[in-house]
């Protein structure tokens, strides 16, 4: 595009100026007093413009005259003219332009200084723990042996020390092994290690909300409400103990119906799951209720899917996983669970007054949502996320632990006999156990603790630094994922006499009294210790003692004790594989 001078609209109707433009400039320099082009001309644009031989265009399109073939300085003209008039002036001189540029530069420097002052001085450089050298793309994944990843990480801990660095794909992660390192990190750092890393699949499931996989203000608000609600519902006291004993009666009625024939080990999930549902929804379900069975089945499927290698690959490479749709099966099942939870939540909302006694966890969430929530901590989505977390955790952890306890009693008949001797001596054949009996049943209590130590239901405690964190000689920057291996604590050779063997003596002193061991951390430790620990302890003790008081658990006919499989099934938690046992009713002293 070429800028030239041409007449305005008004001048187009005037023939003389137009004729002057069409004719072009006269030969040679313009005569004195001659105005060419006319003053009434304006700036316009042409695609094509015939330029006389003795004229030349300058940058702004002003015509200059040639004298002897040498371009002459163009006459001083307005650089831009408006239609209907002209504006006298010229380009800013170079000195003024330089002054403007200098002022702009000074303004940018001042803004940069202000931003630096707000951000503060840069922190010290991070000091990472040692670790194996990563490979491109895969990091150190080639060192982790599929289903035995925890064992591989513990071996790396022996090579590089209890605190070391691994690259899980592109993610730089600090791993903690052994009691001392885990305790120092989870307990000694306080709030600095209370964050949760953004695990891809759980970000999609709960959107960063809920109780267990959230961080920051949403986590603190959800945890405080959950602890307050469980305490108000009577967890650890008589109200919840009575609900557990009621469920124990229903469970024994189911086992009685088998009359000593083999029953599926998964049947033991019903009682602890129903206790959780009673606290969450304010109602107990019949074992044949379709909602109850659907919810249990969906939770079971989700736990299996979360443990699949495809989901682990999605967590390591979210973009690749999304491209391959690796997360879709989990999300479809989660949406079915959400649909049931929304229906239960809506039904409960119509029965929950804005103020008044809370009869369930849903009541606490509903009343909290009815209050002012300027930060949006209890939106409808986050309420459903909290309930989903409690359903998944409450129906899986305690239920799987009770199944393991029954299986290990069938595997170790001598231990089972000693437990039953103690129960007969303290409780007799008819009186059901109570929470306060735990102190009078030290061996039973020790066996239950050893079950939890031996199985390591949740091997990992993923954390994330919420600030630059000093961990021994190392300095971890904010946002560093930290993986505390709880199984390395529960198998620590410096803390347990025979860590790879099932040995209730780990929790007994020389006089047979129960001993609480500091390295017993199945519920994690620190600020993010399991919110349902108190409920799980009471629930497991009453159900376990009640079952062994009434039944002798044996392998099915034709199967030896040694044939009972204690290899964990592939799932998100270390649950037992599908098996059957026989619950033989006991006579007093048998």
Binding-site residue numbers for heme are 530
Binding-site positions read 530
Q: Which two tokens stand for residue 269?
A: 């999930």
Burial 292-328 (b: 16+ CB within 10 A, else e): beebbebbbbbbbbbbbeebbbbbbbbeebeeeebbe
Q: Are 395 and 276 in contact (CB under 8 A)?
A: yes
| H or E element at residue 303 | helix 290-306
Q: Are 211 and 479 in contact (CB under 8 A)?
A: no
Euclidean distance between CA atoms 588 and 590, whole angstroms: 6
Euclidean distance between CA atoms 488 and 451, whole angstroms: 16
Q: Are 254 and 546 in contact (CB under 8 A)?
A: no
Euclidean distance between CA atoms 364 and 349, whole angstroms: 11
Q: How many residues in the chain?
A: 590
Sign of CA pseudo-dihedral 403, 404, 407, 409: negative
**Beta strand pairing call for 262-264 and 2-6:** unpaired
How many CA within 13 A on the CB side of residue 468? 9
Question: Which residue, 485, 464, 522, 458, is CA-closest to 189?
Answer: 464
Euclidean distance between CA atoms 130 and 183, whole angstroms: 20
């Amino acid at each position: 595009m070429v800028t030239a001078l041409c007449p305005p609209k008004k001048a187009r109707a005037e023939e003389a100026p137009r004729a002057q433009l069409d004719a072009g400039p006269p030969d040679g320099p313009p005569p004195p007093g001659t105005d060419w082009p006319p003053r009434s001309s304006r700036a316009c644009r042409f695609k094509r413009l015939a330029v006389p031989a003795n004229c030349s265009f300058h940058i702004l399109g002003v015509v200059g005259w040639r004298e002897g073939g040498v371009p002459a300085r163009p006459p001083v003209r307005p650089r831009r003219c408006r239609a209907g008039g002209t504006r006298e002036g010229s380009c800013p001189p170079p000195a003024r332009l330089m002054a403007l540029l200098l002022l702009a530069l000074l303004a940018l420097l001042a803004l940069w200084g202000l931003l630096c002052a707000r951000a503060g001085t840069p922190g010290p450089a991070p000091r990472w723990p040692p670790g194996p050298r990563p490979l491109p793309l895969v990091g150190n994944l080639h060192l982790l042996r599929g289903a035995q990843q925890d064992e591989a990480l513990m071996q790396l801990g022996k090579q590089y020390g209890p605190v070391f660095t691994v690259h899980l794909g592109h993610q730089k992660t600090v791993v903690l092994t052994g009691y001392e390192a885990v305790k120092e990190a989870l307990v000694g750092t306080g709030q600095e290690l209370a964050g949760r890393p953004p695990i891809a699949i759980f970000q999609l499931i709960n959107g960063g909300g809920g109780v267990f996989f959230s961080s920051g203000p949403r986590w603190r608000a959800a945890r405080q409400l959950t602890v307050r609600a469980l305490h108000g519902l009577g967890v650890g006291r008589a109200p919840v103990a009575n609900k557990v004993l009621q469920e124990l009666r229903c469970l024994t009625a189911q086992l009685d119906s088998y009359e000593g024939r083999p029953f599926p080990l998964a049947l033991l999930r019903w009682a602890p799951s129903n206790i959780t549902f009673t606290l969450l929804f304010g109602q107990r379900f019949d074992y044949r209720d379709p909602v109850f069975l659907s919810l249990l089945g969906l939770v079971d499927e989700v736990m299996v899917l979360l443990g699949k290698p495809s989901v682990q690959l999605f967590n390591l490479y979210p973009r690749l996983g999304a491209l391959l749709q690796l997360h879709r099966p989990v999300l479809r099942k989660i949406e079915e669970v959400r649909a049931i939870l929304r229906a239960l939540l809506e039904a409960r909302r119509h029965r929950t007054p804005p103020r008044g006694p809370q009869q369930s966890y849903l009541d606490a969430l509903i009343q909290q949502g009815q209050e002012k929530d300027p930060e949006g901590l209890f939106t409808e989505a986050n309420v459903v996320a909290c309930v989903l977390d409690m359903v998944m955790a409450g129906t899986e952890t305690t239920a799987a632990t009770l199944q393991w306890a029954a299986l290990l009693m069938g595997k170790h008949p001598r231990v089972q006999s000693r437990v039953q001797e103690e129960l007969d001596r303290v409780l007799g054949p008819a009186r059901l156990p109570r929470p306060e009996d735990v102190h009078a049943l030290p061996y039973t209590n020790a066996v239950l603790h050893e079950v939890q130590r031996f199985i390591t239901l949740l091997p990992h405690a993923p954390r994330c630094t919420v600030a630059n964190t000093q961990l021994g000689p190392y300095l971890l920057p904010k946002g560093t994922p930290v993986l505390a291996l709880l199984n390395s604590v529960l198998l620590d050779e410096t803390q347990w006499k025979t860590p790879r063997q099932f040995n209730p003596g780990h929790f007994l002193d020389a006089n047979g009294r129960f001993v609480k061991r500091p390295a017993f951390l199945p519920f994690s430790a620190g600020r993010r210790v399991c919110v349902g620990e108190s409920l799980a302890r009471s629930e497991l003790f009453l159900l376990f003692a009640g079952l062994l008081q009434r039944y002798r658990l044996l392998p099915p006919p034709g199967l030896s004790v040694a044939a009972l499989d204690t290899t964990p099934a592939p799932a998100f938690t270390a649950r037992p594989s599908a098996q059957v046992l026989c619950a033989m009713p006991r006579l007093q002293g048998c």
